[in-house]
A = this chain, B = another copy of it.
Amino acid sequence: MIKNTPRPINHLVIIGVGLIGGSFSLAIQRNTQIERITGVGRNQKNLECARKRGIIQYCSQDARKAVCDADVVFIAAPVASYADILAQISDVLPASAIVTDAGSTKQSVINDAHKQLKNIEYFVPAHPLAGTEQSGAGAAFADLFEDRWCILTPEENITDPVACQTVSDWWRACGANVMAMHPSEHDDLLAAVSHLPHLAAYAVVNTVSKLKKGTHDPFQFAAGGFRDFTRIASSSPTMWRDIALCNRDALLHKLDALKKELDTMHQALKERDGDSLLVQFEAARLARETWLKAYQSEHN
């Protein structure tokens, strides 16, 4: 539902024209007037692909040149690269340009922005909760954000409310449901429902790998349940290293909480306390089923 007509854009610069940056461009172009779109990235082949697909009209490997007359800069690059990117563009960025992003962690990104940007009030931190296992401009598609959450984490008394509303309107124009929350709350929630499962999946795979080898390779007997459980362990290791480091405190806290859960199970199993195991398994099943019902009704 588009609540406001999205503000027209003169020159949109997308730094990082991958799945997210590319899909944002395809989505926003459907109902927002945009004069020019420039894509910035190191991979010329990817930028060419984006140009051919109508994601961008111009390519650049120089962020400074690209942003000097931008009114909107959209950063869809790995969160670990923000400090560099912002340092590069800060002194050439027009004073009134809105800078927004799609990073998976928000407090780290805000810290980087405070260090580098002169006009911090026009930085609108955002995180669309969407993605696939594919990457690159070739994988981008206009419907990626349809009915997905986009979380904005504006800073109280700092972020310009009009800039925030404008970015919100653009995401709504992309089909997303927009919600605002405190950056630390965002980081805490995402540490639990996204970052922790990734680490747990990586850890379980490594546990299986290190199993003392008998005659047989344990992986030989892994089946469909293992495949789905570990799907996220096929995600980009560098991306997840960066996310983990950028959301360190919240993630350490979640790892502690998970270890506590595993300890409770360990203890119950050690004591052959079937009732306690059952209570724990039933609670998890109920929570998961309740969530799944809501999730499916929203996404089907």
Identify the A interface with B (CB < 8 A).
Answer: 129-130, 148-149, 151, 181, 185, 188-190, 192-194, 196-211, 214-216, 218-223, 225-235, 237-238, 240-242, 244-245, 248, 251-252, 254-259, 261-263, 265-266, 269-270, 272, 274, 277-278, 280-285, 287-292, 294-295
Contacts and interface: CB of A to CB of B under 8 A. Distances in A.
A257 B207 contact: yes
Given A228-B229, A266-B252, A211 B287 contact: no
B221 A287 contact: no
A222 to B, nearest CB: 4
A116 to B, nearest CB: 20
A225 B194 contact: yes
Contacts of A201: 229, 284
Nearest to A245: B274
Nearest to A291: B219
19 contacts: A129-B221, A149-B221, A189-B211, A192-B207, A196-B207, A203-B284, A204-B258, A205-B288, A206-B280, A209-B283, A210-B257, A219-B291, A223-B295, A228-B232, A229-B232, A237-B282, A245-B277, A255-B262, A255-B269
A163 B279 CA distance: 40
Contact of A206 (B193, B211, B231, B261): B261
A200 B204 contact: yes
A225 B218 contact: no
Contact of A295 (B190, B222, B282, B288): B222
A225 B149 CA distance: 15
B284 A233 contact: yes
A248 B36 CA distance: 63
Contacts of A261: 203-204, 206-207, 210
Nearest to A263: B259
A214 B185 contact: yes
B223 A129 contact: yes
Nearest to A219: B291
Residue with the highest number of chain B CB atoms closer than 10 Å, among A188, A226, A235, A259: A226
Contacts of A181: 215-216
A221 B278 CA distance: 27
Contacts of A280: 202-203, 206
Query: Which interface residue of A219, A254, A263 has the most chain B CB atoms within 10 A?
Result: A219
Contacts of A228: 228-229, 231-232
Contact of A277 (B218, B244, B269): B244
Contacts of A241: 274, 277-278, 281
A269 B251 contact: yes
Name which of A201, A227, A241, A288 has the most chain B CB atoms within 10 A of its CB. A288
